[in-house]
Amino acid sequence: MNNVTYTNNDNIIPLPELDGLSFNQFKSIAFENYSISFPIQIHKNISNDILDQIPFLKLTEEFLKIIQREKVLKLTPTFSLQVKVVKELYDMRIILDEQVEHGTVKKIIESEIVIIHNLHIICKLSGLIKKKNNTLTLTSKGTNLIKPENRRDLFETIFLTFAFKFNLDYNDGYDDNITGIVARMFIIKLLLSNSNNLQNASYYAYKFLYTMPGILDLYDEKSEEVKKRRFLRCFNVRMFERFFNWFGFTETKQIGNYMESTDDYEVKVSPMLKDIFYIK
Q: What CATH number is given to the structural domain containing 114?
A: 1.10.10
Q: Are 160 and 192 within one domain?
A: no
Report if residue 36 sits inside a domain.
Answer: no
Report if residue 39 sits inside a domain.
Answer: no
Q: Are 26 and 52 within one domain?
A: no
Please tell me what DSSP assigns to residue 80.
Answer: P
Contact between 34 and 164 under an 8 Å Cβ cutoff? The reply is yes
Q: Are 197 and 114 within one domain?
A: no
Determine what percent of the chain falls in helix, strand and coil, rounding each to the nearest 5: 50, 10, 40
Residue 8: predicted pLDDT: 59
Contact between 244 and 236 under an 8 Å Cβ cutoff? The reply is no
Domain count, the chain: 2
Residue 139: predicted pLDDT: 98
Q: Are 68 and 154 within one domain?
A: yes
Q: Count other Cβ atoms within 10 Å, centred on residue 57.
A: 24
CA distance 178 to 212: 9
Element holding 89 (H helix, E strand): helix 83-90
- The Cβ-side half-sphere exposure at 92, using a 13 Å CA radius, reads 18
Domain with 153, as residue range(s), is: 48-164
How many angstroms separate the Cα of 145 from the Cα of each of 60, 61, 81, 85, 115?
11, 9, 21, 21, 21
Q: Are 59 and 150 within one domain?
A: yes
DSSP H helix total and E strand total for the chain:
12, 8
CA distance 28 to 5: 16
Whole-structure pTM value: 0.92
Beta bridge partners of residue 268, listed in sequence order: 251
Report if residue 55 sits inside a domain.
Answer: yes
Residue 4: predicted pLDDT: 54
Angle at which helices 224-235 and 201-211 cross, to 10° = 110
Per-residue pLDDT of the chain (280 residues; tens, 9 = 90+): 445 555 556 588 888 888 988 888 888 898 899 999 999 999 999 999 999 999 999 999 999 999 999 999 999 999 999 999 999 999 999 999 999 999 999 899 999 999 999 999 999 999 999 999 999 999 999 999 999 999 999 999 999 999 999 998 898 988 898 998 888 999 999 999 998 889 999 999 999 998 888 999 999 988 999 999 999 999 999 999 999 999 999 999 988 665 555 678 999 999 999 999 999 8
Residue 173: predicted pLDDT: 85
SS3 200: strand
SS3 154: helix
Q: Are 230 and 259 within one domain?
A: yes
Contact between 247 and 51 under an 8 Å Cβ cutoff? The reply is no
Q: Are 123 and 208 within one domain?
A: no
Report if residue 19 sits inside a domain.
Answer: yes
Question: Of 133, 164, 195, which residue is a domain's last?
Answer: 164
Report if residue 65 sits inside a domain.
Answer: yes
Beta bridge partners of residue 138, listed in sequence order: 129
Q: Are 149 and 175 within one domain?
A: no
Q: How far apart are the first and last CA of the chain?
A: 30
Report if residue 4 sits inside a domain.
Answer: no
Report if residue 3 sits inside a domain.
Answer: no
CA distance 98 to 258: 9
Contact between 263 and 199 under an 8 Å Cβ cutoff? The reply is no
Write the CB contacts of 104 (distance below 8 Å, at least 6 apart in sequence).
Answer: none
